[in-house]
Structure 1
Amino acid sequence: MTRTQITVFVLVALVALVLGLTVNKVLNSKGQGDPTALLDAGIVLLPQSRTLPDLNLLDQNGQAVAVNQLKGQWSLLFFGYTFCPDICPATLAQLRQLQGQLPAQTLANLQIVLVSVDPNRDTPEQLKKYLDYFDAGFIGFTGEEATLQKFANALSIPYIPADTSKENYTVDHSGNLVIIGPDGTQRGFIRAPLNNAKLAAQLPGLIQPAPRG
């Protein structure tokens, strides 16, 4: 290898190193942490944040909520239903346990939201009773079937509406969580099944307070 080739090789290596450090600095400055560790924890961040649709639902207290006003805190949205026989109670129990593994500052900037995929049975009253069993701080959203489907599709968490004429029907839905940032935009997903140990290690670096001003 000639001196010129060695010089070029060294310069290329230095440029690669600087670029690598710069990318790492940008990711860390955004509070996103190590991308590899995030993926290993099941956290998939979107390359560009996604604006939520302008839709109105009801919370567990019967109050109207605009889904594009989920701001000021980070939110984890889980699309499920209160009559779910397995995945929903298991996921909510895991999220309750996860809260106990997170530092106080992270908890103060995070809210858990169950979005119903079964509005036929999930009234606000039913949602409140169900969620209080897991954690009184959990939030529930319900509404018209068409609105809920639009919301789920916009977040890439589609589900199959059930045949409500059947007794004890079930609803096919995803077990993934949706990550909403404090600016009210979708930042990514958390893949199912949840790994609480890895999530507890990674979420504090991701969930940062909303900037003031």
Structure 2
Amino acid sequence: MIKAQGNNRLQMVVLGVSAVLLLTLLGLLGRQWLSGPDARQQAQREAGIVLLSESRALPVVPLRSTADTDFAATALAGRWQLVFFGYTYCPDICPTTLAELRRIHSALPPAVRDRLQVWMVTVDPDRDTREQLRAYLDFFEPSFQGLTGELADIQALSQALSIPFIPGDTGKPGYTVDHSGNLAIIGPDGRQSGFIRAPLQVDALIEQLPLLME
């Protein structure tokens, strides 16, 4: 009788240990599942990041930057690029977007910031000279660069990146330009890898951009 009770206790201990091990294993598998590709893609979507199934080549356009360099050369410099189309006379989208980009940029780890370049391509080349762009961007973040050039070349780039705009009527005083707040993501290979949808999800992008750039 005593031996039978001992065996029962031993069986209960074994079953208890087995249950603990099983729960631990299930917990580990659950965490692995939650942190897998599906969860990462969901987190990117919630941050407004949309990645293309295949990256796209950029057209070669003779745009000049506020650093007095050609965009085609600097876009292939092995850094990630965020490209925004806007203009310095914009009353709402541009100052809001640039202020949010400044918050994101300043919150990123230094090593990530060093691998990221933010561009503002003007959609208003009649008024936005390189000097005008430089002064405007300096107000937000001196490391941000601007691009300007011929309107046709700017439109060619915006259409290739699937971020079109409607040119303003330059014959009217105080004209505005219809444009998007979306950003194009260009990888270190100089090809477009995706978009960031507006409005920007600042906190989520601060978390997700370093993971995207791994």
Aligned to 1:125: 131
Count of aligned pairs:
182
Q: Percent identity?
A: 53
* Structure-to-structure mapping, 1:56-75, within 5 angstroms: 56-66=62-72, 69-75=75-81
Matched, 1:50 2:63: no
Aligned to 1:98: 104
1:100/1:157 CA distance change after superposition, 3 Å: same
Q: Is the Cα–Cα contact under 8 Å of residues 81 and 118 in structure 1 kept in the other structure? A: yes
Q: Is the Cα–Cα contact under 8 Å of residues 113 and 141 in structure 1 kept in the other structure? A: yes
* Structure-to-structure mapping, 1:168-187, within 5 angstroms: 168-187=174-193
In 2, distance between residues paired with 1:92 and 1:78? 9
In 2, distance between residues paired with 1:160 and 1:96? 26
TM score, norm. by length of structure 2: 0.80
1:68 Cα shift? 8.1
Instruction: Give the secondary structure class of the aligned counterpart of 2:56.
Output: strand
In 2, distance between residues paired with 1:85 and 1:77? 19
Matched, 1:190 2:192: no
1:104/1:63 CA distance change after superposition, 3 Å: closer
Greater share of helix: 2
Structure 1 residue runs without a partner (length 5+): 1-16, 209-213
**2:208 is matched with which residue: 171, 196, 202?**
202
Structure 2 residue runs without a partner (length 5+): 1-28
**2:87 is matched with which residue: 81, 104, 107?**
81
Q: CA offsets, 1:60-113, max 9 Å, x none?
A: 134333278433100100000011011101100110011122111211111110
**Structure (1 or 2) with the larger CA radius of gyration:** 2
Matched, 1:35 2:22: no
